[in-house]
Structure 1
Amino acid sequence: MTLDRPTEDGDTVIEIVTNVPVAVADAGAIADLYLERWTVEPLFQRLTTVLQCEVNTLGYPAAALFGFGVAVACGNVYAVVAAAARVAHPTAAPLSDYHIGLEIATILPGLDIAVPADTWDVIREWSAAQMAAWLIAVARRAKVARYRAAKRGPKKPKPRRTRFAAKKHVATARILKDIRT
């Protein structure tokens, strides 16, 4: 596949190896799908770190697939809650993934205890528009100051090298070789 502009390394052609027949997808379609991969991976990273959705599957494919399905469902819940908060508070500072995840993880068990299961039956019948309106109304009552993302402080300057300061790079193999001789 010939690129419109060169890569960082100066390559103008990318070779894609796949077993997908050309009748199903050409190189451009496959390359586009590969690029979309980079939008999904941050979601799974967030799920793993914030919602702790990584499951030890013990090598069972069915368990791995179930864990993947649960993670995707959690990702959808997370995205909907975050979107409702952004709509309800458009001028607020960015919200913390950690605090939103913590809120979801800690409030749900309390809801299971305090709210009878049949209370949710009415909500199951709602359309997407009704659900969105309700979520935004709930999000408007949230105290967003509790969920602000922490601001990163200034970066510390990189410490000066004292050992091997005259060399740009010191390979471990070279150090070990020097020690042996």
Structure 2
Amino acid sequence: MSRVAFYSKINGIEPQVSQALVRYSGEQLAPIVEELKGKQPEILPGYRVKVIDGNNLGATQHRLSVLRDVAGGPLPGKSLVVLDPILMLAIDEFPCEDAYTSERALFDQVLATVEARDAWVGDRNFCTCKFLVGTAQKKAYFIIRQHASMHYEVESELIEVGDSPTGKVFEQDVIIEFERESIKSRRIVVHLNEPTRDGETKVAVFTNLIKEEVDAILVSQTYLKRWTVEGLFQVITDTLECEINTLGYPKAALFSFCMALVAYNILSVIKAALRSVHGQGKIDAGISNYYLVEEIQSTYTGMMIAIPDIEWQFVSTLHLSTFAELLKQLAAQVDLKRFASSPKGQKKPKPERKKEPNRTHVSTARLLAQKERDRKLSLLNQQPSNVVKTPMPQALRS
């Protein structure tokens, strides 16, 4: 297939097809993760936690004829992504070609997938009466951060219920109503030990989880799982290149994004296999996604040349338990040191940059030479007083 034919093909892939790929990968890979016993620890036993968040695709190049005389960055679409934080799999995706469409316009599609005993975790963009009431009507549950414009009726005063790792926890009973349907809910407020990066000192979330089954402190800790989806977006953006800025057509850009989600799911299975053999702590804290992906990318082409396609056909006939055992055998041979992540040190504050009049640039070589001269002068000045100092070389004086 030529490149022209390839791009023509992906430019016409309907978003529903891309969505189906993500769903299919989640359905097929979930049993493997479970068989490997590579899941993350349960935080809400008896519920299936689903973390949802929106993502705007980055601006593309102005290659399309309709974009060549446009100054603004062309946005090829957006999507809502659903992550299972226990399996660490992207299990659903809701694509939208129009980047200006509000996330809330996609809520009907999300509500159609809600199942009983789900526990949906989301940020304040999902805090609407329609979404919360609609979720409860499906006999499902929500842990959604409060939006400033959210309307609710207070039934009781805030009372302190205890301390969480992030701060003091308070809760009260409230009622949320939508189109004459009302539900009883709880409003849980955490007075933070440290402000958020936006300077907020408290965080409030709504939940309809039963108080006797799930206390307020556990609700606040479960909400912290929302950040796992931010990690997903970082991996598929920085490591799996989900945004290809040459793909201007929305359908092609969304397809590329969904293929990155599929790749993320495969990466999660690999890490689950490593976790089952080497332990959760070593893998979650010490393995670099970047190095793992780089290894796969660099060896795949040569491996497929050295090992013909026919040699891989036996894998499709393996029973689930046998396949999981094969993954464990391969994982046991992995040298984790080769894929160790580099711990990040504390960021140094940026120094104030000095501007020189009438200069828009500097010579790096001259600055380095000046630094070396200053270093040598400093060493000379540190010599003991009883040591006879030799005259400074002419090169240093200049």
Q: TM-score, normalised by structure 2?
A: 0.32
In structure 2, do the counterparts of structure 1 residues 99 and 67 end up closer, same or farther at CA, with 3 Å as the change threshold?
A: same
Query: Structure 1: any 5+ residue segments left out of the alignment?
Result: 1-13, 164-181
Which residue does the alignment assign to 1:51?
240
Task: State the distance in 1 between where 2:311 and 2:144 align.
Answer: 42
SS of alignment partner, residue 149 of structure 1: coil
Aligned residue identity for 1:103: E
Hey, which of these two has a bigger chunk of strand by percent?
2
Question: What do residues 93-135 of structure 1 show as CA deviations (whole Å, max 9, x unaligned)?
Answer: 6111211111122122222221111111110122332222111
Which of 228, 232, 235 in structure 2 is aligned with 1:39?
228
Which residue does the alignment assign to 2:217?
none
Task: State the distance in 2 between where 1:117 and 1:103 align.
Answer: 20
Which of 279, 288, 292 in structure 2 is aligned with 1:100?
292
Aligned residue identity for 1:53: C
Question: What do residues 44-92 of structure 1 show as CA deviations (whole Å, max 9, x unaligned)?
Answer: 211211122323431332x233223311210111111112122222274
Task: State the distance in 2 between where 1:64 and 1:49 align.
Answer: 16
CA-based RMSD: 3.5
Alignment of 1:60 with 2:171, yes or no, is no
Bigger Rg, structure 1 or 2? 2
Aligned residue identity for 1:25: T
Alignment of 1:17 with 2:128, yes or no, is yes
Aligned residue identity for 2:286: P
In structure 2, do the counterparts of structure 1 residues 47 and 120 end up closer, same or farther at CA, with 3 Å as the change threshold?
A: same
Q: Indicate conservation of the 8 Å contact 1:95/1:148, yes or no.
A: yes
Which residue does the alignment assign to 2:155?
none
SS of alignment partner, residue 85 of structure 1: helix
Deviates more, 1:87-96 or 1:29-38: 29-38
SS of alignment partner, residue 53 of structure 1: coil
Report the identity percentage: 30
In structure 2, do the counterparts of structure 1 residues 19 and 142 end up closer, same or farther at CA, with 3 Å as the change threshold?
A: same
Q: Quote how far apart the aligned CAs of 1:37 are.
A: 5.6
In structure 2, do the counterparts of structure 1 residues 124 and 15 end up closer, same or farther at CA, with 3 Å as the change threshold?
A: closer
Aligned positions of 1:98-137 closer than 5 A: 98-137=290-329
Q: Indicate conservation of the 8 Å contact 1:85/1:139, yes or no.
A: yes
Aligned residue identity for 1:16: C
In structure 2, do the counterparts of structure 1 residues 20 and 113 end up closer, same or farther at CA, with 3 Å as the change threshold?
A: same
Q: Quote how far apart the aligned CAs of 1:149 are.
A: 1.0
Which residue does the alignment assign to 1:84?
273
Q: Quote how far apart the aligned CAs of 1:18 are.
A: 6.0
Aligned residue identity for 1:146: R
In structure 2, do the counterparts of structure 1 residues 68 and 15 end up closer, same or farther at CA, with 3 Å as the change threshold?
A: closer
Q: Indicate conservation of the 8 Å contact 2:126/2:144, yes or no.
A: no
Task: State the distance in 2 between where 1:89 and 1:122 align.
Answer: 26
Q: Indicate conservation of the 8 Å contact 1:51/1:102, yes or no.
A: no
Which residue does the alignment assign to 1:139?
331
Aligned residue identity for 2:263: C
Hey, which of these two has a bigger chunk of helix by percent?
1
SS of alignment partner, residue 286 of structure 2: coil
Task: State the distance in 1 between where 2:305 and 2:131 align.
Answer: 50
Which residue does the alignment assign to 2:15?
none
Q: TM-score, normalised by structure 1?
A: 0.64
In structure 2, do the counterparts of structure 1 residues 21 and 143 end up closer, same or farther at CA, with 3 Å as the change threshold?
A: closer
Q: Indicate conservation of the 8 Å contact 1:95/1:144, yes or no.
A: yes
Which residue does the alignment assign to 1:177?
none
Q: Indicate conservation of the 8 Å contact 2:273/2:331, yes or no.
A: yes
Alignment of 1:151 with 2:262, yes or no, is no
